[in-house]
Structure 1
């Protein structure tokens, strides 16, 4: 009993380590870090300060927002205090009754800070005001107004750019959690489902994939993260997709495919990562965006097919049932790609498929579970 429990724990830990080793997470983030960058190279990020501010986290944007306004108010408050002190306007300088101040009702550092805040934010309570006695104070008023306008424009631009980043649109593009391998017509295909959760289209959508794995050259050189192109297509082609409803992507497993040498009992023993990309332009904002996800061998099910999710209502409208988006059923599938293409009768060889407990499988014998096309 304890040996079985220990074995199961070890298998779970190995599976978790394998899943953490992926380059691209399921939500599209790249699991990579950079080290030993020369210190001088960091100034390149400061030179491209706009992109740096747009890409930093919200907490740093808010900190910069608060700090920029507060520091500008305080620095100009010190300058107003210096002007008032130079003219003898401060309370501790005991100005005479006939003294004409540069700044009315600015008698200390606190009131100078308040005057700076009221000037830059154009509040104007009416208690403190600038007179025409000091030309330097007029020049400082112009400078602070221009600096305040620049800070306002810059911070509003940064916040608006972060809110409208194209990757936010990518959050409404959903890939299936698993990929499946099953026959499609006269071909054996690896299939992935993708859906656009918004009614607005993704114009000019293009789909493609990269297979990442570690390979060795004949010279004995090990290439980490070697990339191989994986072509995907739908029934209507692979370019300029009409992405108004969920689509099922197909990669044909033929002799040129890297999946050709794999079989149902060896697939999960492989070490690779399939990264799928969707490029397109949002119809509402005309901004280009890219959606990414990845699949490791443990997330590919051999001998299963997706359930249909599109039906037509009595009113004549097309309905997408997302409850079936990640649901699959077992189908008759050859146990290897070589058998499918070369051995007669293996095109419809019935197997139980390679199961994965995290993926929902249903029995299609119940007619209520099937969504008709």
Structure 2
């Protein structure tokens, strides 16, 4: 439109003199002005239509249009690159459970989190890393306020690499090499620690590395709970219920640390703690039956048998406490 106005104002549309020099040659209508503008915008190259030094305004418009064309190309290329190469949008589909849990697995205390991928496209070479951030003091008395300690992962694959086709529970066995080895349920409530979980991999569609991170504070780590299964199988078909992704269920778990559990006999100590529940029921049964023994001698003898059983349980408890 601007080129047509320049040609119209200069009289290029109706040339009457043979020695007339137009601003732009071979512009006779709006269509020819539009074609010349396209040649300038995309730098195709001038043919029969080209600018002359007759009009200063035409030269200025030519420079401005070239600069505007370069800016538009740069913006479009930037938008396309950000759309295809931005890893943040892909990282938003990698989810973590709201809480982490500590419970028994194969007779050992384990720290566990659940991760998942909401998209159908795969994350190639996915890996999981964990770090414990806490305040520590060295043997020389140096205080490290934010000491970062790597912890080993014990995932279903056996290494840090995972195949994230469905929600996975990633576990860390709390052993002698773990920074959580001396952590008990009471210490967890009073200690100021943070566990950082990093999931990274290559996006299948773009080939660009993406990374998702989360962290769990002391009040976000649940002791004595496990994750509810989210993968169901029916007639050979597996389905994932993401509504159960972060659900947990309470399970019997010793409240002592992994160190105390190992030094106290492992699972034997935990089983002894579980045996404290039936003792109360024995006492209630004895009291109830002894009250009825006044009218029935048979019931009285039964109460005596219960007294003997209770005394046996109490003696067993004393032996248990002595062993502990």
Give the counterpart of 1:298 among 206, 216, 219: 219
Structure 1 segment 58-73 matched on structure 2, within 5 A: none
Structure 2 unaligned runs (5+)?
11-15, 26-33, 43-48, 276-324
User: What is the DSSP-based 3-state SS (H/G/I as helix, E as strand, rest coil) of the residue aligned with 1:266?
Assistant: helix
Q: How many residues align?
A: 245
> TM-score, length-normalised on structure 1?
0.57
User: What is the DSSP-based 3-state SS (H/G/I as helix, E as strand, rest coil) of the residue aligned with 2:180?
Assistant: coil
Matching residue of 1:245: 166
Q: Contact between 1:211 and 1:228, CA under 8 Å: does it hold in 2?
A: yes
Matching residue of 2:259: 338
Structure 1 unaligned runs (5+)?
1-76, 91-96, 105-114, 123-128, 352-373
Give distance in 1, aligned partners of 2:88 and 2:188: 32
1:121 is displaced (CA, Å) by 7.0
1:218 is displaced (CA, Å) by 4.4
Matching residue of 1:208: 129
Work out which of the two has the higher radius of gyration on C-alpha atoms and give 1 or 2: 2
* Higher mean C-alpha deviation, range 191-200 or range 236-245: 236-245
> TM-score, length-normalised on structure 2?
0.65
Q: Contact between 1:207 and 1:238, CA under 8 Å: does it hold in 2?
A: no
Q: Contact between 2:23 and 2:55, CA under 8 Å: does it hold in 1?
A: no
Give distance in 1, aligned partners of 2:71 and 2:119: 35
Whether 2:144 is the aligned partner of 1:196: answer no
1:278 is displaced (CA, Å) by 0.8
Q: Contact between 2:128 and 2:161, CA under 8 Å: does it hold in 1?
A: no
Matching residue of 1:154: 74
Give distance in 2, aligned partners of 1:146 and 1:102: 17
Q: Contact between 2:155 and 2:169, CA under 8 Å: does it hold in 1?
A: yes
> In the superposition, relative to structure 1, how do residues 202 and 347 fare at CA in structure 2: closer, same or farther (>3 Å)?
farther
Q: Contact between 1:195 and 1:246, CA under 8 Å: does it hold in 2?
A: yes
Q: Contact between 1:210 and 1:230, CA under 8 Å: does it hold in 2?
A: yes
User: What is the DSSP-based 3-state SS (H/G/I as helix, E as strand, rest coil) of the residue aligned with 1:268?
Assistant: helix
Q: Contact between 1:179 and 1:295, CA under 8 Å: does it hold in 2?
A: yes
Give the counterpart of 1:166 among 76, 81, 87: 87
Question: What is the RMSD of the two structures over their aligned residues, measured on CA atoms?
Answer: 3.5
Q: Contact between 2:232 and 2:239, CA under 8 Å: does it hold in 1?
A: yes
Give distance in 1, aligned partners of 2:119 and 2:82: 20
